Amino acid sequence: MSRIIESAERIVYRAKLKFLEETALAGLAHVEGLALAPLCPPSQVIQVVSYGGRHLGRVRHQQEEGWLALVKGTAHATGPYEDARSAAESLYVQCILAYPHEMPREG
């Protein structure tokens, strides 16, 4: 029975994260350029990153390491970076390299 409860808890947790991410992205939908929004306001620890409304991934702050960047759909983090903006800029570059035909480019 506990396996069923654990599975159900994981499903609910993932659904909550998906909802929070979609809510944060909705706030960035019409923002031009690179933008960040907290996944769980008012906490700034995990932020959703978009460029021109396109979801790139997340950046998160690790207490000991600094800021890490995670491309959407991957579990591999890069970093550490000094601040959230630097991590987001790295995320943008990673997405350009991984998906060159899909990404808008600056000026």
The residue with greater pLDDT, 101 or 36, is: 36
Res. 105 pLDDT band, cuts 50 70 90 = low
The DSSP letter of residue 29 is T
> Listing from the earlier edge strand, what are the strands of the sheet with 54-62?
34-38, 46-51, 54-62, 66-71, 77-81
d(CA 49, CA 72): 9
Tell me what percent of the residues of the chain surpass a pLDDT of 70: 94
Q: Which of 74, 78, 42 has the alpha carbon at shortest distance from 60? A: 78
pTM of the model: 0.83
